[in-house]
Chain A
């Protein structure tokens, strides 16, 4: 299995909602990543988990809360988001931090 899966594919939420994005990989990778991507821009790194521990937090607002329940799963909990948070959220994994990353298809988030 060489796939990174993400659910849901699309999400529309209001500014008062709480929602979660999910990411899963079964490649035995020990590093997992969350990125935010705006249209026609490169991905911006949000969080890195290495061996299920948060190793990088790129000064992301606290309304985004990551969670790594085990080595295969990565969640991103969303609360009180702003319209400017609307974007494509990408999950990726790599065998170790620093190696090539394999990306999921992303969740397209719209905040109303």
Chain B
């Protein structure tokens, strides 16, 4: 079974600085998707970024980028120029691809942004 591990329960960053959130996963599949979701306190779960396993290029969305190391099964999220609105719980998630099982979430990392 696929598992997703986020080893950092909590992280903090100074406003305007850069922070990296870690995620590792375990799978025997070759085709899969990886995601980072953001969930602010008492608010909606929002997709931050996605990565298809067959793509070597790391995904980027504005200030958010990933470092995808397929051989190491690592999928970290880098947030540049951190803003107060980035404070949230961040979940790393794995999906086995089209027509294939459900989404597996990591335990989450709570990110605090200090002004």
Contact of B25 with A by CB under 8 A: no
Contacts of B47 in A (CB 8 A): 100-102
Contact of B56 with A by CB under 8 A: no
Surface stretch bound by A, among B16-24, B76-84, B101-109? B101-109
B99-A96 in contact (CB<8A): yes
Chain B contact residues (Cβ within 8 angstroms of A): what range? 20 to 34
Contact of B98 with A by CB under 8 A: yes
B98-A97 in contact (CB<8A): yes
Contacts of B95 in A (CB 8 A): 98-100
Q: How far is the CA of A96 from the CA of B91 in the complex (A)?
A: 21
CB distance from A81 to the nearest CB of B (A): 22
CB distance from A16 to the nearest CB of B (A): 29
A-B contact count (CB 8 A): 58
B45-A96 in contact (CB<8A): no
Q: Which 5 A-B pairs have the closest CB atoms?
A: A42-B105, A103-B45, A105-B44, A98-B97, A98-B98
Query: Can you identify 28 A-B contacts, CB atoms within 8 angstroms?
Result: A33-B102, A33-B103, A40-B89, A40-B110, A41-B107, A41-B108, A42-B91, A42-B107, A42-B108, A43-B91, A56-B101, A56-B102, A96-B99, A97-B98, A97-B100, A97-B101, A97-B102, A98-B96, A99-B95, A99-B98, A100-B33, A100-B47, A100-B95, A101-B103, A103-B44, A103-B45, A105-B43, A105-B44
Report which B residues bind A (CB closer than 8 A). 33, 35, 37, 43-47, 50, 89, 91, 95-103, 105-108, 110
